[in-house]
Amino acid sequence: MTGVHPMWLPDEAFRALGSRRVLVAVGPDAGPVAGTVVAEVAAATARFGGHLVTAPVSVDEVLASDVVLAILGSGGQVGAEPAVQAALEGGFVLGADAPMRSGAFTVERQDGTTVVVAADAAGLLYGLHALVRRGEDAFSGSHQVVRDQPVNGIRMLDHWDNMTVHPVMGQVERGYAGGSIFYTDGRVRDDLSRVARYARLLGSVGIDAVGLNNVNVHATEARLLTDHLDDVARLADVFRPHGIRVFLSASFAAPLTVGGLPTADPLDPAVQDWWASAVRRVYETVPDFGGFVVKADSEGQPGPFAYGRDHADGANLLARALAPFGGTVFWRAFVYDHHQDWRDRSTDRARAAHDHFTPLDGRFDDNVVLQVKYGPMDFQTREPVSPVIAGMPRTRLAVELQVTQEYTGQQQHAVYLGPQWEQILAFRLAEDGRTVGDVAAGLPEGRPAGLVAVSNVGTDEFWTGHPLAQANLYAFARLAWGAHDPLAILDEWAGLTFGDDPAVRAAVHAVLDDSWRTYERYTAPLGVGFMVRPGHHYGPDVDGYEYTAWGTYHFADRDGIGVDRTRATGTGFTGQYAAPWRDVYESVETCPDELLLFFHHVPYTHVLHSGSTVVQHIYDTHADGYDEVVRMASAWEQVRGRVPDALFDRVTQRLAEQERSAREWRDQLRSAFFRRSGIPDATGRTIY
């Protein structure tokens, strides 16, 4: 397939590696991932004039190599090739102190040779791409040893792809980059070359699991579990060489809808037998199948509540069918009443996940992972960390992020989410100092799971619609691996994607570094959330959801704005948090400004910690945010002629749309709250 942007793997990124003499020692039976390592090196050396050597080799050939890539055998030996062991013994660290966790690798530089040894083939693939990311720096300098391994055992992307085009949500639900790369006309595509490119991209940054279909499982997709298993196997075959296992989103009602049973009751023996048989057939077709992703009893999806059962009953049903094969069920905690009465202020959507799931802590089987959205609502630009993450110490928890920009500009706006995610992962959940990232990784001695995110790619030539949105996909993968600095990650991505031109890198940073906070400034203020057009969720609509059943209210009136979630006078949501946050959020005196309206209903004249009143903050930030978008566009204009014209034009077009949309947000929000409060902007700026 031609005309597809290479994202962070352009040919040029392999120049430093490909211009050298590279020895790859993996052995004849190392498997498809090791074959990928050999193929990557072969392509790079053929392109840039280097030389690839594979086993069997002599000691002299090893010593003549600029780069050695090898898999460790048992006891820390280079099991694939004795000559490699003999040549490196005594001079390199190799086995004794090298990490042996799956995916781990060590890079050592000594006497002009760079050696990568890995615990397994996946680790060797990750080590290879660590060299690619470093470029010439990987092949210079004196003795150095760098050990690396993934912090999270699960690094997963969920695709919300439909096999057929949904009449409301399209082919990719919350997709902003074209159709599905997997499906067309109700079936898996005949040509999977683009999927192969995608698998290569994900493998290069350590993604190890992919969910193949929408969590809202429609009728056609439900049959991936039964009638379309051969096609699932075809997709698994494409992902396998890059160390990635495939998962399916499964409908809890499958025993009824595709199995012909009269019930889906998880305690019914016939239902249990049906799932056991269905899972056995899956593994007969896809032996390394990962398992299921399930959304149940939420937003119309069927679940165990219909039978008087709870979510532990439902999740364990599937877990026990998967357990003999090593499979895992990712059970989403996104469960709430979406038929609320807007008149009833005692009902609080934010409470729902904690209310439903924390009483079940300790009842989930070991191969159940509870997949928890990072916040209690729905991927808002700013919301507090979900209290569920700290509230279930006896359950494996995966934290779910949203790479697709549903509530952050829908890939029309340049919004780099790395800083948001880093803040979330570094958030200290309780007085013992544990962070969100610690819980996901199972640190220090917890129940390891990992990070999951909703993917943002489609059939668009730039994969993500907005070329700069590629940075979010890259950042998720690097943060899931264990990197910490979102701006360093952005710089890494920019260097791989655009090369070493300092003017381009400077422009990318000027556009993206603070773009998440810029978006926050010109959209919904102080953690209040939503204020978007119902349905498609794009663009401002102050009262769009205010009188609906979805539970996403701001309660703005002539006197004030915000949701009272305190224990003293509100919904009691603050009580779901551990100390110190239960008390920090309870008081307007200690609640952080950026979350004030999430937890409190306050007058427009309430003075923030910043010294501004709430209404003046709305006036100022919406005006300033728009001005920042104008500056972003000006910064991008400086790279005209330095990047390919098609890419430059696409980003320019998207920035123009962002400017238009930011102007609407600015003018509508400022006008709406002047009309509610009657308080003028102290700066005298125009309000309509």
Q: Which sequence positions are flagged as catalytic?
A: 299, 378, 406
Q: By the 8 A CB rule, do 506 and 496 touch?
A: no
Q: Is 256 exposed, middle or buried (0-12, 13-18, 19+ CB in 10 A)?
A: middle
Q: H-helix or E-strand containing 221? A: helix 219-222
CA distance 31 to 108: 24
CA distance 398 to 372: 6
List Cα–Cα distances, 605 to 542, 558, 617, 618, in angstroms.
19, 11, 10, 11
Q: DSSP character for 607?
A: B
State the sign of the Cα–Cα–Cα–Cα dihedral 375, 378, 381, 382.
negative
Q: DSSP character for 347?
A: -
Assign 330 to helix, strand or coil. Answer: strand
| 450-454 and 397-402 beta bridge pairing | parallel
Distance of CA 136 to the CA centre of its chain: 30
The per-residue DSSP string of 464-492 comes to: SSSGGGHHHHHHHHHHHHT---HHHHHHH
Gyration radius of the chain over CA positions: 26
Distance of CA 212 to the CA centre of its chain: 15
Residue 6, both tokens: 């290479």
Q: By the 8 A CB rule, do 528 and 544 touch?
A: no
Residue 514 has a CB neighbour count (10 Å cut-off) of 17
Q: By the 8 A CB rule, do 356 and 335 touch?
A: yes
Q: Using CA atoms in the order 627, 628, 629, 634, what is the torsion angle rounded to 10 degrees?
A: 100
CA distance 407 to 381: 7
Q: Let me know how long the chain is.
A: 688
Buried b (16+ CB within 10 A) or exposed e, 298-323: beebbbbbebebbbbbbbbbbbbbbb
Residue 192 has a CB neighbour count (10 Å cut-off) of 20
Q: DSSP character for 104?
A: -
Q: By the 8 A CB rule, do 233 and 286 touch?
A: yes
